[in-house]
Chain A
Amino acid sequence: MTLLGQFALWIGFITALWGFAIPFLSRWQQRPELAATSIRATYALCAAMIVASLALWKGLISHDFNIEYVAAYTSRNLPDSYVITAFWAGQKGSLLFWALVLSIFGAVAQVVTSQRHKDLMPYVAGVTNGAASFFIATMLFGHSSPFERLAFTPPDGNGLNPQLQNPGMVIHPPMLYLGYISITIPFAFAIAAMMARKLDAGWIHAMRKWTIMSWLFLSVGITLGMWWAYVELGWGGYWAWDPVENASLLPWLTMTAFLHSVMIQEKRGMLKRWNMSLVIGTFLLSIFGTFITRSGVIASVHSFAQSSVGYFFLAFLLTTAVSAFALLYYRWPQLEPETKLESLASREAAFLFNNLVLVGIAFSVLWGTLFPILSEAVRGIKITVGPPFFNRVNIPLGLLLLALTGIGPLIAWRKTSTANLRRQFLWPTTAGLVAAVALLAAGFRGFYVLMSWVLAAFVAGTVLQEFYRGIRARMRMYQESPLMALARLVNRNRRRYGGYLVHVGILVYFVAFAGMAFKVTREVTLAPGQSVEIKSPFGNTYSFTHLGVSQYQALNRIVSAASLDVRKNGAKFAVIKSEKRQHIDSFGNKTFEPSTEVGIESGLREDVYVVYAGSIAGTEQSNFAISINPLVWWVWAGGVILVVGGLLAMWPGGRTSAPVARRDIQSGFEARLVGSEAE
């Protein structure tokens, strides 16, 4: 199977090179008939990558430990689900996974894109094939082929890192990869539009859903990564500003900016150059993130071992940046805006400021991530840039962004009158002020926490007002019931109301993030039968009684499970079990260092988070790190709301179909809801 896999890689590489070069050569040689072969090459590449991937999966499932990758990341007693997901557990496999998904996305883009954009498609194929050829070349020439064989066959493999043996790690990396990889498609459309000189709104329409999809995948990937860190790493938090976490946030921020500014291009024909720059920048940042992960240039707990692969990524990053921005420079005159911004009090201006803050946060994250390198270069002194730095720099910008999330939808396109502004801001501002008074009366004093919750109330007021006015308008016009009016309102304009739902997800995130300022952590030593009491930020008193430590063998590990009987305000609450897991191979030999499994009892208001730190002198008397983490449940809820909103926004149909839009305009729906008020 390794021969077949390696052969498929070579076939894929040659096909991808052809598919990459031919659209550009055919343009140069004035032979448009050649360009179509690029599209066929995309399908052939997809087939080759599927064959290569199946070959690797076959090696993993059949425990062919003669394959170096299989021996490095699996063992005979590794649960089946992790054997399958070991495909992307290591660098070599994840490169193949990247090439596989990219080739599938490239082929799907060719199939689903409307014939209206057929002039763009050879170039889209060229770009996706070019990116795929890079990843395959890295495998073939960077000593990173997952099909390399060992000189001998070990009786068992090393097994999978215990921290990766978690359901979160089954889904989180592929989701993040899907996000990173699917960014290539909007980038490909942007390059195609510039190559084909089709710089009207056509390319935007062709790639809009791809952009939302990439953004969704990244959002899901980032949230799952936070969840994995929370339930697996045991430090009681979910975001540590690690360089690799930052790398995933960077393209998410610029893509969020693009999703807003592209609306200005669609509605007013402005910001064409800015949007093109954002798409290019987002793609480059996705590659930059991968470069950080793989090069070892910045210390990170996530980094793969340093290898020559980093140089491949750096070369690709620089080549792509120079080529894409050079092309943008040549097309600059054709990207003239059709209209100009007229007022500071306009939706366009609010979106511009929103873009500014989003890109500003992206810059500050990038700046902080790279600042240790800069400092060492300038001063010759190594420094650490950790969470305190990022919090200090980014929290003010984040609050500004939250404020703009509420302000943007309240302002009309083009310009807004003072009377309209007063009418639009009245209730959301009241909501914010009421929240401020209530929080101050409740004794909250932390500035950032207060601001987060007050602004969240303001944004919630905005969203509620938008829904309320839309529903009320429909009820008046069509005599619909409130529920029917809500359903039809959302269905008619999924993008707009899906967007509002995303805003709700974001404000829920902010509320939950601020809650962690009140986290309580305590280390305790308990012998079986001993108890300790901890008071929570919500005023609950939890008592923890150590029940004992039991040791047993399960699957591929020896488990030491410590149980605590937890009472809340004197009433029975839960029995929380935290474990130490010593993984073993199929011969019973201990493999990795013992890892920790956290015990969590999650609630709407607070999580009780227990970590079994270890035993005192080999007895059941044990140390525990116990945390009460407020509002963490809402982080995951915010993620779900965000995803539902995103799905709603990208769901096919709704207002985008021409007949529906015509009907709405004829019935006055457009004029009443959009014309005079904010959309």
Chain B
Amino acid sequence: MMLNRRSFLGGSFGALVVFQQPAPVPEAPQAPESDELRDPQSAGLSRLPVSPLDNDPVIVDVEHKLKCTCGCNLDIFTCRTTDFTCTYSPALHQEILGLYKEGKTPEQIIAAFVEKYGEQTLMAPEPQGFNLAGYLVPGLLVLLAGGILSVVLLRRHRMAQLAGAAATAPASTTPAVSSEEMERLKRALSEVAD
């Protein structure tokens, strides 16, 4: 297709106008009547209407602490509100709602899940027994290493101050350093070497 100069310039100008106009917020189209979808399967699994309990902070909090059993590594709340192909998390949610309606406290619901599904149902292990190692070892190691580093640096600082004081003291008042003391100083310095 050949393009003449007029149509090219006209098109370019038109494009320029279109691009330079601020993008308007589209007007909300007229809401259609509620109707059946043409292809419901393509819109994913059919859902149940949301109940007030689904948004209950207690339920949400409990579900954030428990893992979905579908193998996704997500907690129940995140899985059921994210992976809409998962059939496990909606069932687990219903189970939690059932326990909640029976009057169980969040701690009792979690305990019931641990009893039924094992300790791995918890998103994080309870900080007790061997699990304490999981929580404490990294922090303790950093503290220990930091402590050692601080002690070494402070000792070295003191050594440097001593050496500096010895070097700047007037010659007449400087006590003679015996070879034994020098040896000891060298040994002390080598102990704090990198």
Measured CB to CB, the residues of A under 8 A from B are: 233-235, 240, 242, 270-271, 273, 299-301, 336-337, 340-344, 349, 352-353, 356-357, 360-361, 363-364, 367-368, 371, 375, 378-379, 381-389, 392-393, 396-397, 415, 521-525, 527-529, 545-549, 551, 558, 560, 563, 565, 572-575, 580, 582, 590, 593-594, 596, 611, 613-623, 625
Contacts and interface: CB of A to CB of B under 8 A. Distances in A.
Given A343-B157, A375-B134, A382-B119, A623 B50 contact: yes
A397 B139 contact: yes
Interface in B85-127: 85, 118-125
Contact of B42 (A356, A378, A523, A582): A582
**Chain B: interface residue count, which band?**
35 or more
B55 interface: yes
5 nearest A-B residue pairs (beta carbon): A364-B138, A618-B40, A360-B142, A582-B42, A389-B124
B98 to A, nearest CB: 18
B178 interface: no
19 contacts: A235-B82, A240-B73, A242-B73, A343-B156, A344-B150, A356-B145, A378-B130, A384-B123, A384-B124, A523-B55, A549-B37, A560-B42, A590-B42, A596-B82, A616-B47, A618-B40, A619-B37, A623-B47, A625-B81
B149 A375 contact: no
Nearest to B160: A342
Interface stretch (B4-12, B21-29, B168-176): B21-29
Given A337-B194, A356-B145, A529-B31, A384 B125 contact: yes
Given A382-B120, A551-B39, A580-B44, A240 B193 contact: no
A624 to B, nearest CB: 9
B194 A273 contact: yes
A379 B50 CA distance: 41
Contacts of B122: 383-384
A341 to B, nearest CB: 6
A498 B125 CA distance: 41
A341 B73 CA distance: 46
Contacts of B142: 356-357, 360, 397
Contact of A341 (B25, B139, B153): B153
B40 to A, nearest CB: 3
B138 A356 contact: no
A560 B37 contact: yes
A523 B60 CA distance: 11
Contacts of A617: 46
Contacts of B32: 528, 547-548, 620
Given A235-B74, A352-B149, A582-B41, A613 B139 contact: no
B181 to A, nearest CB: 20
B150 A299 contact: no
**Interface of chain A, helix or strand or loop or mixed?**
mixed
Nearest to A527: B34
A305 to B, nearest CB: 13
A375 B122 CA distance: 14
Contacts of A364: 138-139
Given A551-B43, A615-B40, A615-B43, A528 B194 contact: no
Contact of B44 (A299, A545, A614, A619): A614
A353 B146 contact: yes
A343 B43 contact: no
B185 interface: no
Contacts of B38: 551
A367 B131 CA distance: 12
B139 A393 contact: yes
Contacts of A383: 119-120, 122, 125, 131
B112 to A, nearest CB: 17
A352 B194 CA distance: 12
A360 B145 contact: yes
A341 B159 CA distance: 11
A523 B50 contact: yes
Contacts of B55: 522-523
Contacts of B153: 341, 343-344, 349
Given A340-B193, A341-B194, A575-B25, 15 more contacts: A240-B74, A337-B194, A342-B156, A357-B142, A363-B138, A363-B141, A367-B134, A384-B122, A387-B123, A389-B124, A397-B139, A529-B34, A551-B42, A596-B82, A621-B49
Contact of B156 (A341, A375, A560): A341
Interface string B37-73: 1111111111111100011000010001101000111
Contacts of B74: 235, 240
B54 A523 contact: yes
Contacts of A551: 37-39, 42-43
B183 interface: no
B111 to A, nearest CB: 16
B180 interface: no
Contacts of A565: 28
B13 interface: no
Contacts of B123: 384, 386-389
Contacts of B67: 384, 386
A234 to B, nearest CB: 5
B50 to A, nearest CB: 4
Contacts of B48: 616
Contacts of A620: 32, 34-37
Contacts of A619: 34-37
Given A344-B154, A356-B145, A396-B139, A385 B40 contact: no
A161 to B, nearest CB: 13
Contacts of B167: none
A270 B152 CA distance: 15
A388 B63 CA distance: 13
Contacts of A614: 43-47, 84
A375 B123 CA distance: 15
Nearest to B151: A344
B85 to A, nearest CB: 4
Given A378-B130, A580-B44, A618-B36, A525 B157 contact: no
Contacts of A524: 50
A14 B149 CA distance: 48
A590 B40 CA distance: 13
Nearest to A235: B82
Interface in B176-194: 189, 192-194
B31 A235 contact: no
A575 B45 CA distance: 25
Contacts of A361: 138
B15 interface: no
A572 B194 CA distance: 65
Nearest to A400: B142
A272 to B, nearest CB: 8
Given A547-B29, A549-B43, A621-B34, A375 B82 contact: no
